[in-house]
Amino acid sequence: MNPIETSIGIKMKISEIFYSLQGEGYWAGIPAVFVRFSGCNRFCSFCDTQHNFFSTMSVKDILQKVMSLGSARRVVVTGGEPMTQLEGFHDLSLAFAAAGYEVHLETNGDFEVDPSEVDWLTVSPKGPEWKQKIGDEIKVVYTGQSKEELEQYLESSDKVYFKHRFLQPCSTPEGSNVEATVEYIKADPRWRLSLQIHKLIGVR
């Protein structure tokens, strides 16, 4: 059955949907439509998602909005934490795939995800209790963690596997620790720098 028809009753809390360039990680510079879920199980001080304001949308609503935004064939489902609305996410990814979209998921890794459900899986863990240890890329926000803390995200740790490993400066209204992040990567070249280039070039 059409995944849109099966999920008529499921509504998701969506913070925003917009068309821009991917600013971070492996796909930086590539155009994509972003579907930003609202709500998260974490409360990071540097979070750039507005969790208090959201629209309640069905799979059909979201798909129609995405299709109205232009010719990009890639959708980045991000947050907030999409996995906190698991049932809706599952139907949404099926609907996107059926409509011919490549689906990228960005998750904090606190919930287990079947990597085969999406075309690209980015895990951005925010603490030691993370669960999703396999994916296409891992993107860690560098807040001054010790080498021992960061070691848990690398392949030398038990059952951890990612094709690409990014360390990203932490941006706050006060500034960004780019210099410290660069120095860390120079000292441990298993990491690669990810910048939030959408902020650098002034696009959403």
Query: Contact positions toward ligand SF4, by CB under 6 A?
Result: 40, 42-44, 47, 49, 79-81, 108, 126
164 is annotated as an active-site residue: no
Least separation, in Å, of the C-beta of 47 and ligand SF4?
A: 3
48 is annotated as an active-site residue: yes
44 is annotated as an active-site residue: yes
Q: Which of 5, 6, 47, 114 is catalytic?
A: 47
Closest CB to ligand SF4 among residues 94, 142: 142
Q: CA separation (Å) from 130 to 108, 109, 113, 138, 168?
A: 8, 5, 12, 12, 18
Least separation, in Å, of the C-beta of 77 and ligand SF4?
A: 12
49 is annotated as an active-site residue: yes
Closest CB to ligand SF4 among residues 96, 130: 130
Q: CA separation (Å) from 120 to 101, 103, 114, 158?
A: 12, 7, 11, 22
Q: Which residues contact 141 (CB under 8 A, 6 or more apart)?
A: 44, 46, 124, 126, 168, 169, 170
**Distance separating alpha carbons of residues 128 and 153, to the nearest angstrom:** 9
Q: Which of 106, 110, 136, 137 is catalytic?
A: 106
**Distance separating alpha carbons of residues 53 and 71, to the nearest angstrom:** 27
Q: Which of 24, 37, 40, 107 is catalytic?
A: 40
34 is annotated as an active-site residue: yes
Annotated active-site positions, please?
34, 40, 44, 47-49, 106, 198
